Chain A
Amino acid sequence: MKRTWGLQLACLAVTAFFGVPLYLIALAAFASRESLDRFPLSLLPTDVSAETITTFLGSTGVVGGYLNSLMVGLSTVVLALLVGVPAGYALARYAFRGRDPYQLFLLLTRALPIVVLSVPLARIFLQTGLYDTTYAVTLLHTALALPTTVLITSAVFVGVPREHEEAAQVFGASPVRAFARVVLPQALPGIAAVAMFTFVLSWNEVLGATILTLNQRTLPAHVLTTLSDSPLAYRFAGGLALVGPAIVFVAVMRRYLLNMWGTTLR
């Protein structure tokens, strides 16, 4: 009995460490301006107001940043899946020459820091006219997400029994049709998880997006560049605006997190 108490206490302590800051940022973002000016700040939601958050949402560049983030995130998902899913399928189903070097190449690209790519890419994009567009950021984010997309989708396809596919072909379906009708439906939940993972990666990436754009900034890039000359209330609201989708994401993805991070990143 004593041991379980200790266990619960330890769990509660860890939960407090992770949960309390989330509570506090929500508290700050939903406090009125004057209550944020007061000191000491109230630790209870006594003065809830949408004033701070609406001021943030109404300030220049925020709505545009949201839209850009959304655009970049969705295009990154589509592009990464278009390029990555076939490669993941090939890794899962075929023993081809060059398979190991290809996998090594994927792992190597994963280890390249974003910052190394962003600055030279900015120049390349300037020369090709892509600079300061959402396409530029999409390309960078797709490149960042692609190695993981390939490795995870390959794990997803390994989980779909090969026999089902072969059976369909025996009954006369073409390989493409067998893939579309038999394999894809079974792989879909896993692929949806990959898609969400990619979206979050894009949503969170800030340095590359900042370097590659001036006017078409994504939300994190916009918040970062306005950081030094914005009032605290604005920064708190910005913090909540960036955290919000994360909580939703984890709630939806809970079932897949362990498989995605645990087993496929080797």
Chain B
Amino acid sequence: MPGGVRPRGPLWLITPSLIFLTALFAWPLVAGIGQALTGPGGFTLANVRRMLDDPYFWPAARNTALLIVVLIPLQFALAIAMALLLRARPRFAGVYFYIWVIPLAISDLAAGLVWLAVFTDRGYLNSALAHLQIDGYAWLSYQHPVTMFLAVVVAELWRSTSLVFVIVVAGMQSIPRDYDEAAAVFGASYWQRLRKVILPQLRPSLQVALILRTILALETFAVAQALTGRNLPLLVGETYQWYSVLQNPNVATAIALVILALSMLAAFGYLRALREPGGQP
């Protein structure tokens, strides 16, 4: 790879992308910080105060946090289980793989609409229950915050688990089967092999997936929007609300910066926690 045939070559090749990304990332970022912290009379915290005083802000923050805490462990358990199933080389593995990765290309808005067809009052879930002579339930009613939240969790689980799954499968492919087989020869049970041989070697893949998914989960928006409207406020949904309905871009950017700060915090936190070799027994 290294060669450096023409030392000036690479600079010309990467400069366009540098200019492009600086113009579209750094510039709006700086402009956004300015937008959130300035008012008509110069520097002000009024936008931040207005954001904090909004009755939707703290529920949105709480829901977003709760979503991450509930969704991500479930998602990782499911994705790892799915990858292990494929590793056992079932028949029709190709068909299974295809169906399991379809959500990879489905947007959160589309996923929200798909599950709306299932969970809505006269939707397919209640229809199925009716066929079984069971009374339906208003899953998405604002009177039932728990099932409303669970519906969003299920839809997100459906949509975004394939991403973790694909990363885990790719990670598993690079693990030599010999280790696993050697452990089996020496009498290790399936659980022992999973915990001592497979999972430790998957750690780099899991780390990537964890950072990526946490940042993306902080950005969850359209799923909740399609399923519940504003009844289940989330941080990004509030940005959208302030921007397009309340027409106040300053408060909208203030919320966006909170999301940015949380994303960065999550990324650094994971990198630190997972890089430390003594972090696990």
Q: Which residues of A contact B (CB under 8 A)?
A: 4, 7-8, 10-11, 14-15, 17-19, 21-22, 24-25, 27-28, 39-43, 82-84, 86-87, 89-96, 99, 102, 105-106, 109, 111-124, 139-140, 142-143, 146-147, 150, 158, 162, 175, 200, 203-207, 210-211, 220, 223-225, 227-228, 232, 235-236, 238-239, 242-243, 245-247, 249-251, 253-254, 257-259, 261-263, 265-266
Chain B residues with Cβ under 8 A from A200's Cβ? 105
Bound-state CA distance A43–B244 (Å) is 38
**CB pair A124 B28 closer than 8 Å:** yes
Main secondary structure of the interface of B (DSSP, over half): helix
Q: Is there a chain A Cβ closer than 8 Å to B18's Cβ?
A: yes
Q: What are 25 A-B interface contacts by the 8 Å CB criterion?
A: A8-B91, A11-B92, A14-B96, A14-B100, A22-B102, A24-B114, A39-B126, A40-B126, A86-B13, A87-B13, A92-B1, A93-B1, A111-B263, A119-B252, A121-B24, A121-B28, A143-B24, A150-B17, A239-B116, A245-B105, A251-B98, A254-B101, A257-B104, A261-B104, A262-B169
B110 partner, pick from A86, A143, A242, beta carbons under 8 A: A242
Chain A CB within 8 A of B152 CB: no
Segment at the A interface, from B54-62, B69-77, B181-189, B254-262: B254-262
Chain A residues contacting B244 (CB-CB under 8 Å) are: 210-211, 225
Tell whether, in the assembled complex, residue B109 and residue A220 are in contact, meaning their CB atoms are under 8 Å apart.
yes
Are the CB atoms of B100 and A41 closer together than 8 Å? no
Do B35 and A120 have beta carbons less than 8 Å apart? yes
Mark B1-43 against chain A: 1 for CB-CB distance below 8 A, else 0. 1111111011111101110110011011101100100000000
Inter-chain contact B218/A113, CB cutoff 8 Å: yes
> Which listed residue (B9, B35, B101, B243) contacts A250, Cβ 8 A?
B101
Interchain CB contact under 8 A, A262 and B124: no
Contacts of B13 in A (CB 8 A): 86-87, 89-90
Roughly how many angstroms separate A242 CA and B236 CA in the complex, as a whole number? 21
Q: Using A146-B20, A203-B107, A206-B107 as known contacts, list a sample of 7 further A-B pairs with CB atoms less than 8 Å apart, ordered by residue number in A.
A: A41-B124, A43-B128, A204-B107, A239-B110, A242-B113, A250-B98, A262-B205
Partner of B16, one of A28, A83, A92, A224: A83
Chain B interfacial positions (CB closer than 8 Å to A): 1-7, 9-14, 16-18, 20-21, 24-25, 27-29, 31-32, 35, 78, 81-82, 85, 88, 90-92, 95-110, 113-118, 120, 122-124, 126-128, 130-131, 158, 162-163, 166-167, 169-171, 173, 204-205, 208, 211-212, 215, 218-219, 221-222, 225-226, 229, 236, 239-240, 243-244, 249, 252-253, 256-257, 259-260, 263-264, 267
